[in-house]
């Protein structure tokens, strides 16, 4: 399998679009998320979309370029750091995203609006760095020609 740079770029563009939309909710409080179910669902869905895009990008890079197939979302992030695709600092910042994603998908009744709020604020800060580090790595991996 060959790294499909354009597929990664499309996913990064979608991640940017998701982050732009999530940015509209930066000022929302945990109490607003608690009292407004539609608002909470919107933010949760955006966070889930962002997490899924990050994991999809990670999976594609690890499989196509490194022949690695981690068996968990947390493993995807750990191995991206291990092989030098993302920095160790970013790896630490993204630690726990797999668990949060699974809570959103599988344990709906236990979702704490305070945790959703924390994830929103952190995601708006950290997820753009993920995109930047992936682009940087693709430039290095392709010898400066990440357009292929």
60 pLDDT higher than 60: yes
pLDDT for 108: 64
C-alpha–C-alpha distance, residues 60 and 140, integer Å: 17
C-alpha–C-alpha distance, residues 64 and 60, integer Å: 6
The encoded tokens of residue 60 equal 């594609």
pTM of the model: 0.94
Residue pointed to by tokens 């996913």: 11
15 pLDDT higher than 80: yes
Q: Provide CB contacts within 8 A for 91, sequence distance 6+.
A: 77, 78, 80, 81
C-alpha–C-alpha distance, residues 81 and 70, integer Å: 13
74 pLDDT higher than 50: yes
pLDDT for 148: 40
| 144 pLDDT tier (thresholds 50, 70, 90) | low
The encoded tokens of residue 88 equal 């160790």
- Whether 58 and 76 have beta carbons less than 8 Å apart is answered as yes
C-alpha–C-alpha distance, residues 49 and 70, integer Å: 20
Domains identified in the chain and CATH numbers: 5-140 (1.20.120.580)
71 pLDDT higher than 80: yes
- Whether 119 and 46 have beta carbons less than 8 Å apart is answered as no
78 burial class (0-12, 13-18, 19+ CB within 10 angstroms)? middle
The encoded tokens of residue 8 equal 């990664």
Q: What are 91-126's pLDDT values in tens digits?
A: 999 999 999 999 999 986 678 999 999 999 999 999
| 145 pLDDT tier (thresholds 50, 70, 90) | low
């Amino acid at each position: 399998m060959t790294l499909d740079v354009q597929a990664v770029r499309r996913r990064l563009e979608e991640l940017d679009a998701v982050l732009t939309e999530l940015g509209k909710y930066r000022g929302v409080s945990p109490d607003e998320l608690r009292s407004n179910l539609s608002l909470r669902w919107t933010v949760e869905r955006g966070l889930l979309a962002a997490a899924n895009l990050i994991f999809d990008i990670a999976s594609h890079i690890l499989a196509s370029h490194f022949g690695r197939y981690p068996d968990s979302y947390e493993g995807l992030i750990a191995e991206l750091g291990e092989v030098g695709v993302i920095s160790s600092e970013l790896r630490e910042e993204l630690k726990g995203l797999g668990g949060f994603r699974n809570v959103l998908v599988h344990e709906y009744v236990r979702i704490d609006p305070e945790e959703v709020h924390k994830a929103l604020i952190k995601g708006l800060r950290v997820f753009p760095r993920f995109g930047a580090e992936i682009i940087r790595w693709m430039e290095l991996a392709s010898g400066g020609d990440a357009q292929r």
